[in-house]
Amino acid sequence: MFRIVPATADDTLLILELIHGLAEYERALPEEVPVTAKDLRESLFGEHPAAEVLLAFEGDAAAGFAVFFHNYSTWMGKRGMYLEDLFVKPEFRGRGYGKALLAEVARIARDRGCPRFEWSVLYWNTPAIGFYNNLGAKPKGEWTIFRLTGEALRDL
């Protein structure tokens, strides 16, 4: 009864619902997640899609999703895969859906010739860190993520 499928524009509202579920899990305030269905439709299914989405279903019920896109390694001279979001609804956790979604993105990366597959995890998310460690993923502790937003981005 479990299946993973690529999302289509018809799934936009479901993707938005999953994004809000992830934001709640990550303790984000509603104003930190201003994304709209229109934003998603344009950025994911418009003329130049910015990312791809896989949806996991148990029967007809959405269990979770993975959002990913290509990045680029100058050192390798090849594109890689970056996992932006992996989320499984609380009622579906512990059943292997997260691993199945991650494995499918890894398969896509491998099939596209990507030599690496990367993502970030919040330092307090110990269940996810343990999950990733068990899969053989290695943290890149020497790196720190920097971000410009709002006024700082505009000013630069």
Which residues are designated catalytic? Answer: 132
Burial 134-150, CB ≥16 within 10 A → b, else e: eeeeeeeeeeeeeeeee
